[in-house]
Structures are given as structure tokens and as C-alpha cells.
Structure 1
């Protein structure tokens, strides 16, 4: 068998993937994860003083996704933080640089009302970025095609996460936003309400449009923006990645030429919920005590947490000189 998240080889009796730490059970017990072997489930008595299981040889490790930071270059960085209110981080992030000067972003926000949203987001970012890299490097695909291939791979990965079919909770699902930047041209794909922004001194823009009930309600003319925003359904998403995806999962796509002296920023709603518009987000970014992308990302996550940190917060920034 293969791990649904990383593709690594697993045994039928394994409860966690030795390669990536993904849960292989439908509803693992927190107590058993903490005390029994994380890989084979052997009793606590089988764990030696160095934390090795004497049954299968696996060393027990703390699996935490509360804070992940990625600094790939002086102009490219990202991070994902649990926030102040959620009990776990259901966001995930993957970044990669391909020569010559091709930057890849993938950010996912697991849908909290679904089964194992944290597994959905992690499976999606891993599958998407690997598929995009293969499409660009091996198949010489254009960026828009590579993103479609990557999002489809993410959909397949999420759809195969083991779930409880008898549960009333929805199957595992996640939003996704991904971008490929080459020669200062950004190709962006998304499903859901994770966003991409262009941020610059004179003008900033939101480059994506949320797949949300509020946007549909406003565009249909049935509600004013104020009425739609006041609705309890305002932030409900209408497209996502999962086994219950209502359509074929083909992403929305857009391209944008990024001018010099500006930033491309991708984020989940844990940040943008605290930013009324793109100009405010740029103003907040510029308050960072240092100008490198990792410092900016840390500052923006700190800002969201200071505002309440009601959701997981994931941000990635590419600075264009």
C-alpha cells in the first residue's frame, strides 16, 4: 500500500506513515497516538527509553504542524500558523524554486466542517507542487496547464483520504490557491476563498475572486454587498477540493505581470479576514520591522494573531525588485 499523502510505502497494520507522519486511520485516538507506537500501534510497554518501538523499530516523534516556516531565498518565503483559537493547524503550504527563476506557491485551507481537514490540506499541497514540478520540468507544460494538472493531482489526493462513510460530517476537503511566477508573469489558479494579491506603493489589487456564497449573491443582484456580508452564509464557499467536489475541480485561472518594486502575496482567510482591502494589506505589510519576505510573513501572521487569530493563518510572499 501507499500513503495517501506522500506516496510512501506502508503496511496494512501501520497507523501513521513513517515518511511524512500522516494518519492512516479514520479516527485515531489521541491517547493511543501519545502512548502507543505511532507506526504499528504496539502498546506503550514496547517503547524503549530512547523512544524506539521494539516491535517495528520506528522512533516515536512529536507530530506538530502548529507553525511551519519556509525561507527559500532572500526574496521568497512563507509560513503557516495555527492562530490563537483553533486547536490544530488545518492550513498547509508548499513552496519551490525551479531554475531559471521559476517560483511555485501552493497554499491550502482545510475545510473545518469536513473530516480530517488537516490531512486534506497537507495531501493537497504535496500532490499539487509535485505534479506542477513534473509538468513544468518533464513535460515542458505551460504554467496554466501545469496548474490545472497540479490542482487535479491535489483533488485526487484529497479524494482518497480514508474517511468514515457512516459519518454525517462531510468528506475531507480543502481550498487551494497556487501560483507559478516566471519572468515576472504570475499564473494563478484557485478553488475556494484562499487569495492572491499584488501589493505595491501606488496601487494594490486582489488578483483572485472568492468562490463564495457572498460573491455569487452580490453578482446575481439578489443582495446588496451590505446585505450579503451580513448573512450567516457570507463566507460559505461554493467550490473546493474533495471527494464531494460538486464539479470537475478545474481551477479558476488568471495571469498578471508583476511590476518591479512590488510583491505577490498568497494567503488564506486567516489573514485577509483582518484586511479590509488590498491597500490596507499593503500598508500592514510595510509596517514590518524588516523588508525581507520571511520577516514580512512573520509580521503579517503576528498582526492576524493580534487581531484575534480566529483562524489558521498562512502567508507566502515573493518580492519583485
Structure 2
């Protein structure tokens, strides 16, 4: 008896017709079939023959590769996140290189569930059907035939991954050749391997030394000496290794010629009366360059009754003027470019915020915008984003989303709380955690990524009018891939993507920008890279100083296990999901406001608590502090409100007890060393009489919405609010409250003679419980 023909269900919710796997389109509605290949973890399933369908859904292709035949349905998940799975979630910002957890399979004859990994290095489209479903080649096997720039590019990516993986004790993944796969110029890991012992950079040098003899002549001596310096310990830090590799990349990059062309198109869509999106170059235009830098920007305005189009236009104009005026004078060092792109986003943020204040926009009339931009220069392209507009990278072997949405679903994943496919099912999953114009730029965290362009590819920048409901994943092969073979011109492709968004989604404005990157390899040369000098970096002012870049990499020092989760919350929230400054004010950002709110119990997110330790701080004998100001300075010297927090998670807007007014008396009860910072636990003894009652102008603090709350969904055009003063609209702390603050923030505000005893400054009250959080409102999920 022959097995029935394997089929895959149409992803169109209105169709769901099973179609043979040898077809690329649904035979009924002509929707492109999404072929989602997964890799099984857990107990070995090698006994499952190719062609078998597990639990009625997953088609076994052999070698642990499975095909989901019902990709539009959510997979089975669990509330308990196993320890071995957590690193995948917390490393989700690196999903271009690291697989993500999809779901699990429970089988009666296995003791443990079989976990499934998504976005694994498996050929799934854009290639000959004979290799579809097969693993991509190992890096070692592809090394010999790779150009010199690509070889350095692969090493550079590995060096950048060293510290993030080391943070979660999975660095062994970079030392296991079988796990190192490549998709063109991108290094991709097959899975994550737990560290049994602490890996060292010497071991990385030993692995790289195996590839020296097959390296391209131009980098052979460079790599040999690099490996020697790793072996002797001259290179002792992953950032030092990254810096040395970045010195060699420009010399190899000069051997190839890059040309860039961009096409943009924007449309109001069938259901909106006004287009709040904006783009640069202007919609319908074509720009190209072979020598000059090429800037592309896409913004999705958030404006409620009015203002979204103004905010997006302001962002475009502010960023364009700054970047184009400065780029001619940049030295194009990666650190300089990253910093300037971040500054540009922050300046645009402040421009919109000031416009809100000048026009006295309140509540739902306040405006904001998302932004994604690409800056192409020679052999590299820089991607910057804030919000949930996206950038995808399309090559001949695949399509990958390279940005991580600044929304609640993504935040839940990177904090290790939920799988993405589970998180997006909640009503608030698409609510933004940051966008331009929400508040002061001090709490804004733009994300900047750098890509070495050594192969033909297309970067798609788009608003969620197109990206919602997996439309890019469905249509990239038919609408974007032909660009690479000159079968479709860029302008037509942009227009067709907008038409797909309007006909298949149609719920929002839509804007797309296509950046076509073309590479021409130069003639081979006998020139060799100069030897890397690790010691010379000590004299380089750009290396070793505390970076001003908000998206800087994590510290190389592995955190103790007891603070691993805390470290993840600190760094990942700072890097990729920093909550806008306005979120911790008494005004709830407009993206959470609804015209007809429905109340439901709020389930608060518990802030990280300090470890149990009764040690007493030594503050020069001071146990009571008299505070002389309600503002202090952050690490950059910028004025910020003096806030008391219940824990150490500064990025969580809900984790604020209140503002400490001037002339308050505080008692020091504990001191903690968290990473490289000292924190004090303080109890509020007394407040000045004039400030003992909250001002009527100050409204209660409102928390970020939680995914497990129920509230009516609204669209992204609800209002954005921000605080208008340096201290914000926080409630005041109350006598008896107990909380935490950085030592560097509080001590400069206590007078030299504030060593007075309790009799002089008053007695401390007993701690009181915090108030109950109010229920937030939401915008709809950006995913189905």
C-alpha cells in the first residue's frame, strides 16, 4: 500500500485547502504556500522514516528535519520554559544567526517532549528543488572557495556572537564545526550547545588555525598571526578581536565594487482616509549610486485623530538632513557611524516631542512614528530601527527578517517568558514599547546593525501594512527574488508589493522601499593584509573607552548564575526594547489608549528582586540622607528625575515607586553590587511639608500592558503622550516606602553634613505597600 501524497494546508485562513507539496501555490485560491522547515531537538527521532507524519502535522524529511504541513495553526507549547530552551529566547535579537524555538511535539512513547526549532539553516526556497529541505553547508566545507572578504566577514560575525553566547553559557556552539553553517555571507548556527566548561578565546584561535592554509592569500598571514595572538593571550577580549577584524575588512572590501539602487512606493490603502506613512526617497522615485552613500527611510506615523503624517514627515526630514550633511565628513569608522545614526534618531524623536509641546497636543492628539532606515556605503550597509516597521534581507537562498519589533510580544520572548508563536496570540502582543516622539530621547534605544555586503541581495524596508500576516514570507520568492536575476525591475516590484498589501491585508497604510545591492568582484591581487597588532589597540582612543552607543554589545565578563536572569533583563531591554521615557509618566502613551476601554484585572510583571543579603553599607558613617534636589545626572551627565524603584530593572517603566522630592530624608538599609554598579536600598523617612501631597498636575503612574490581560484591541493611530518637564509627571514617594536607586545618582544630592542622627532628621515610618496598577489599553497585534 502506497503512502498518500503529502500535502500542506493553504495558509489563507479563508481557504485552508490541502495542496500537494510539489506545488508552490494553493490550487484553489493561488496563495503561495509557506514551507516552514523545522529541526527536532530532544529524544532522537532518527527511527522515523522520511515521509512519516508526526502527530498528524509534521512531515519527517530525515536528518531531524520536519516540515510543518499546517503552518497557519499555532504549534503546541508549554507554560514552563525548560532551562535548555531559555537561551534561544533570550538570544532572539540574534535570530539571523540563531534558530528560534517554534513549539513542541508530545509523543506517547517518549519521556520528554520533542522541541522544534524554526529559522534553522535549511534550504527552503529560492533554490533548486533538489536541495530543498536539506541542511546548508558547514562553514569549514565552504571556506576554501569563499572570497577573502567573505572569509573575514564570517570570522567577524563569529567574534560578535562570542559574548552574547558566553552570557548564556552556550559559547561552545561557536567551537563545534558541525554546528557552524553558512548561507551565503551569513553565519548560522544549527542549534545551541551548552558549555560544560568555560570556553576560551584560545580555543577559538585553535579552531580558526585549522582554516589558515585554505584561506585566500590576501588574508592568510593576517589570520595566522591573529590565531597566534589568540593562542598567546594577547587578544583577551572579544571586543578586541572584533576591532582587529574590522581593521582588515576595509582592505578586502576595496577589492570589490558595490552598486546600490532604491525604489520606494507608499499608498493610503483601501481602509484609511489619510496616509500617515512617509518615505525617503519620495514615493515613486528611483535612486541609484556607485560611489556616493545612499540613504533610505520608511516611517509609519502614529497620530490618532491627527498628527501621524506630521510626525513621520518630521522624522524623515530631520534624519535626512542630519545624515546627508554629516556623512560627507565621517571617517566611516563603525563606531562613529553607529553613534551618528543613533543620534539622528534621537534628534528626530526630540523634534517630534517639541512639536507636540509647542502645539499643546494632549492625549490622543499627540503624535509619534516608527522608523527604519538603511545607509549604504561602499561594501557595507547600516540598518537602524525604532518601532515595528521592519527590514528583511532577501538573497538567492532565503528571506530573513533582520530587525526585531519593539513590541510586547518580542519583549516577552527576549526576557524568556514565552515562545513567540504563543506570545503573538495575546491581544496586546503588537503594542509598541518604543517609537519616536513618545518622550525624551534619554530613554530611547534605537537599534543599529551593520552588514557586510559581499553578495547580491535586496533589503526590503516596510511598514506593518505589508508585513502583517506573513505576507513577506509568502511572496518574497515571486515578487522580490526575480530582481536579483534582472527578471523584474525595482519600481514594478515595489508597486506589486503594495498591491499585495492592499488586497491581502488592507487594514492600514502601506509603504515599501527596496534596496538592491549588486556586487562585482575585482581582480585578484597579491597584496596581503598587514599583521594585526593587538597591542596597538591600547593606543586607539576609539577602543576601550565606555561607549556612548546605546546598542553596544554586552560586557564580556560572564555573569554569575544567580544573576543571569537579571543580566538578561538589564542588557536586552536596554539594547532592543528600551521603554520610551513617556511610559513612566502619569500619561499613558497613545498607542495604548482606547475610546471605549474595558476594565480587567491587571496582572503585574514582577520586577527583579535583589538577592537576600543583610549587609550594611558603609557610606562614611551616614545612615540618613538629606536630599537637596529632585533631579540628578545619569552616566552621560544628562539631567534625569530622581526615582525610587522596587528593584534593579531600570528599563521597566512599571518598576518605579515614585519621585523623590528635594529636602526628603531617606534611610540607607542595604547596599548591593550589581555588575559594575552599586545600588542602595533606601527607606523614605519624611518628605518636605510643601511636597508631602502630590500636586494635582501629577497623575498616577500607569504600567505597560501585560500580555495576559484582556482589553479591547485598537489600532496604532491612538494617541502618544510624553512628560513636559525634566522630572516628569510621577507620583511622589510616600513615607515608609522601601526601594532602590544607584549610589552614583543619590549621593551627590546629599549634603556633606547630612550625617545627622535620627533625632535631627526624624524617625522613619514603617514600609507601606504599593498601589495597585491600573489597567492599560492596547493596539492590535501586528501578527495574526
Superposition TM-score, scaled by structure 1 size: 0.69
Write the deviation string for residues 228-282 of structure 1: whole angstroms up to 9, x where unpaired. 1111111111011105358532411111123433211111111111435647434
Partner of 2:507: 310
Write the deviation string for residues 193-215 of structure 1: whole angstroms up to 9, x where unpaired. 11111101212221111111010
Partner of 1:189: 384
Aligned residues: CA RMSD: 2.7
Moved more, 234-243 or 283-292: 283-292
Q: Could you tell me which of 398, 404, 409 is aligned with 1:209?
A: 404
Unaligned runs of 5+ in 2: 1-258, 282-286, 519-784
User: 1:158/1:256 Cα in 2 relative to 1: closer, same or farther (>3 Å)?
Assistant: same
User: 1:259/1:292 Cα in 2 relative to 1: closer, same or farther (>3 Å)?
Assistant: farther
- Looking at structure 1, the residues matched to 260 and 472 of structure 2 have their Cα atoms a distance apart, in angstroms, of 27
Q: Could you tell me which of 404, 429, 434 is aligned with 1:239?
A: 434
Q: Could you tell me which of 119, 122, 130 is aligned with 2:310?
A: 119
Partner of 1:81: 267
- Looking at structure 1, the residues matched to 473 and 452 of structure 2 have their Cα atoms a distance apart, in angstroms, of 17
Check conservation: 1:75, 1:292, Cα contact below 8 A.
Answer: no
SS in 1 for 2:370: strand
Q: Are 2:393 and 1:198 equivalent residues in the alignment?
A: yes
Q: Are 2:439 and 1:253 equivalent residues in the alignment?
A: no
Counterparts of 1:14-29 in structure 2, within 5 Å, are none
Counterparts of 1:97-112 in structure 2, within 5 Å, are 100-112=291-303
Q: Are 2:340 and 1:146 equivalent residues in the alignment?
A: yes
Moved more, 290-299 or 219-228: 219-228
- Looking at structure 1, the residues matched to 318 and 424 of structure 2 have their Cα atoms a distance apart, in angstroms, of 34
Aligned-residue offset at 1:188: 0.9
Q: Are 2:449 and 1:263 equivalent residues in the alignment?
A: no
- Looking at structure 2, the residues matched to 166 and 286 of structure 1 have their Cα atoms a distance apart, in angstroms, of 44
SS in 1 for 2:424: helix
User: 1:134/1:290 Cα in 2 relative to 1: closer, same or farther (>3 Å)?
Assistant: same
Check conservation: 1:74, 1:292, Cα contact below 8 A.
Answer: no
- Looking at structure 2, the residues matched to 309 and 287 of structure 1 have their Cα atoms a distance apart, in angstroms, of 25
- Looking at structure 2, the residues matched to 151 and 74 of structure 1 have their Cα atoms a distance apart, in angstroms, of 23
Q: Are 2:324 and 1:133 equivalent residues in the alignment?
A: yes
Write the deviation string for residues 32-54 of structure 1: whole angstroms up to 9, x where unpaired. xxxxxxxxxxxxxxxxxxxxxxx
User: 1:166/1:207 Cα in 2 relative to 1: closer, same or farther (>3 Å)?
Assistant: closer
SS in 2 for 1:273: helix
Q: Are 2:352 and 1:158 equivalent residues in the alignment?
A: yes
- Looking at structure 1, the residues matched to 260 and 290 of structure 2 have their Cα atoms a distance apart, in angstroms, of 15
Check conservation: 2:277, 2:309, Cα contact below 8 A.
Answer: yes
Aligned-residue offset at 1:174: 0.5
SS in 2 for 1:198: strand
Pick the structure with greater CA Rg.
Answer: 2
Check conservation: 2:349, 2:441, Cα contact below 8 A.
Answer: no
Check conservation: 1:203, 1:279, Cα contact below 8 A.
Answer: no
Partner of 1:285: 480
- Looking at structure 2, the residues matched to 165 and 77 of structure 1 have their Cα atoms a distance apart, in angstroms, of 37
User: 1:81/1:184 Cα in 2 relative to 1: closer, same or farther (>3 Å)?
Assistant: farther
User: 1:79/1:267 Cα in 2 relative to 1: closer, same or farther (>3 Å)?
Assistant: same
Q: How many residues align?
A: 249
SS in 1 for 2:443: coil
User: 1:132/1:159 Cα in 2 relative to 1: closer, same or farther (>3 Å)?
Assistant: same
User: 1:139/1:285 Cα in 2 relative to 1: closer, same or farther (>3 Å)?
Assistant: closer
SS in 2 for 1:211: coil
Write the deviation string for residues 22-73 of structure 1: whole angstroms up to 9, x where unpaired. xxxxxxxxxxxxxxxxxxxxxxxxxxxxxxxxxxxxxxxxxxxxxxxxxxx9
Write the deviation string for residues 69-102 of structure 1: whole angstroms up to 9, x where unpaired. xxxx993211111111111111100137677242
Which of structures 1 and 2 has the larger relative contact order (alpha carbons within 8 angstroms, sep 6+)? Answer: 1
Partner of 2:494: 297
Superposition TM-score, scaled by structure 2 size: 0.30
- Looking at structure 2, the residues matched to 145 and 114 of structure 1 have their Cα atoms a distance apart, in angstroms, of 34
Moved more, 114-123 or 230-239: 114-123
- Looking at structure 2, the residues matched to 286 and 98 of structure 1 have their Cα atoms a distance apart, in angstroms, of 21
- Looking at structure 1, the residues matched to 291 and 299 of structure 2 have their Cα atoms a distance apart, in angstroms, of 26
- Looking at structure 2, the residues matched to 205 and 244 of structure 1 have their Cα atoms a distance apart, in angstroms, of 31
- Looking at structure 2, the residues matched to 205 and 123 of structure 1 have their Cα atoms a distance apart, in angstroms, of 29
Check conservation: 1:184, 1:320, Cα contact below 8 A.
Answer: no
- Looking at structure 1, the residues matched to 290 and 479 of structure 2 have their Cα atoms a distance apart, in angstroms, of 31
Partner of 1:225: 420
- Looking at structure 2, the residues matched to 309 and 292 of structure 1 have their Cα atoms a distance apart, in angstroms, of 24
